[in-house]
Amino acid sequence: MNKRFVIGLDIGTSGAKGVLIDEFGAVVSAASSDYPLSTPLPSWVEQNPEDWWNATINICKKLSATEGVASGDIVGIGISGQMHSLVALDANKNVLRPSILWSDTRTEAECVWLKKNIGIENLKKFVANPALEGFTLPKLLWTRNHEGKIFDRIAHILLPKDYIRFRLTGELATDVSDAAGTLMFDVRQRRWSDEMLKRCSISPELLPHVYESTAVAGAVSREAAAATGLPERTPVVAGGADNGCGAIGAGVTEKGRAFASIGTSGVVFAHSDKPVVDDQLRAHTFCSCVPLKWYAMGVMLMAGGALRWYRDTFCMLEVNSAKAHGIDPYDLLSAAARTIPAGSEGLFFQPYLAGERTPHQSASARAAFVGATIRHTKDHFTRAVFEGITFGMKDSLEIIRSMGIGVNEIRLSGGGAKSKFWRQLQADIYGVEVMTVNTREGPAFGAALLAAVGTGIYASIAEAVGQTVRIDDRISPNPDNAKKYTDFYQVYKEIYPALEVVETKIHAMNKG
């Protein structure tokens, strides 16, 4: 019997990624393809779904041509993708307008309407999540309010990964983890919310069928096979949202496990065996890719992005030095930060460069350095940036803990996992053991594992994770620093309330 292979695809914001793994979880080949963002107006962020499809074609051609892999050896495909972004199709299943992305914030008025007319108690009851600009429903309402002729032609709506499934299979479908981020989904019951749709006058006919993530939700069509090089009739599983698939790839599939991912944004994600909802809706409660399980998640809008901003704005000397010596400039920043004591001798950084999602849900929030004195050097500022970002991540972790979700270990990914200094800093600030795992491919790897389960290579996600995901490194908190950071974090939490009124005025002045 020939060795079996599966493909995992991830339709991200800046580009798509794909991995081909064998039945033992080894990555045999990988490919990526970038595509542009469009920002036609301030606060607008859009993408052409055709760019996602062209990227998918390029990736699949490369993966299916992997040396030593026969076409018939690829037995399944899993898809992950950016959450929330709206894809609108007409009755002929043609795209009506560019996709309005998760990071687009034009929907402020629609969110105000939802909060006023639905109310926080009903939002908790119907969809278990707050009305935020990034979610899908406000984008659909915006289209109705501002592009009525287009809205009237909408026959189907999809999420990005589901548009790729449609192009691969001809099927209109989604999965529970992605549907949970639309603000139209009953997260507890794992079905579309009839009450929410009714109150917003949205026809349920617009919405696709919902599957659990490992269920087969179509097969590669003849046309798609010709375009991509994939075998015709290859099963395509339902897949999952990027964070849900990232959790699978990191092995965060059991009670007590969480992951902290620091990319441009920051995510803290904790597995839960039941749907627990924060009373103030500061964190999100979504369906897990693990059947009949859930997760709680907090999101920072600028985490690694804040460090990059600091690097590019204030550290060109380090950038040029690193380039001259062939090293990573972040290594120089980490080395500088390491020379400063925990707490940066009273200097704090509030990392709200683009407003904030968790915990404040505020577009008015602003970044700030607080506590600077004549004693503070550039290295103090550098360490304060690392600490401020990590304090922001801890905000999400503390909300999750307050929901009664225990966290015994945190698995790290993204930029925050690459630096030993930052790994130790996270252990000290989170106050829990942190670890890294052998997998580096993120959501694409998780999507591939979902395909492996859906096609019978593994009997369950637990088996797939147990066979493929291994701990690389463990770091325990430094007791002395952990104690200091407990006190410093209490001060950090007081900064935003103290500055909120001023930041709101600044936001209003810049809007005007």
Encoded tokens for 260: 């902290």
Q: Say if CB 59 and CB 74 are below 8 A apart.
A: no
Q: Say if CB 25 and CB 34 are below 8 A apart.
A: no
Nearest to 75 by CA among 172, 219, 244, 175: 219
Count of CB atoms situated within 10 Å of the CB of 459: 9
Q: Is 242 assigned a catalytic role?
A: yes
Instruction: Find the distance separating the first CA and the last CA of the chain, reported in whole Å.
Output: 68
CA-derived radius of gyration, the chain: 23
Give 373: exposed, middle or buried? Use CB within 10 Å, 0-12, 13-18, 19+.
exposed
Q: Which residue has 């989604």 as its token pair?
A: 174
Phi, psi dihedrals of residue 424, rounded to the nearest 5°: -65, -40
CA dihedral 476, 352, 301, 114 (to 10 degrees): 130
Q: Say if CB 415 and CB 440 are below 8 A apart.
A: no
Contacts of 494 (CB under 8 A, 6+ apart): none
- Break the chain down into helix, strand, coil percent, rounded to 5: 45, 20, 35
Q: Which residue has 């709506």 as its token pair?
A: 157
3-class secondary structure for 205-221?
HHCCEEECCCCEEEECC
If residue 6 lies in a helix (H) or strand (E), which one and from where to where? strand 5-11
How far, in Å, are 192, 282, 308, 383, 461 from residue 390 at the CA level? Answer: 35, 18, 14, 11, 30
3-class secondary structure for 266-287?
EEEEEEECCCCCCCCCCCEEEE
Q: Which residue has 């602003």 as its token pair?
A: 366
Catalytic residue from among 10, 73, 178, 242? 242
3-class DSSP state of 241:
strand
Strands (E), 82-234: 87-89, 99-100, 156-158, 173-175, 185-186, 191-192, 209-211, 216-219
How far, in Å, are 88, 205, 227, 236, 267 from residue 221 at the CA level? Answer: 22, 24, 10, 10, 36
Phi, psi dihedrals of residue 508, rounded to the nearest 5°: -65, -40
Q: Which residues have a catalytic role annotated?
A: 242
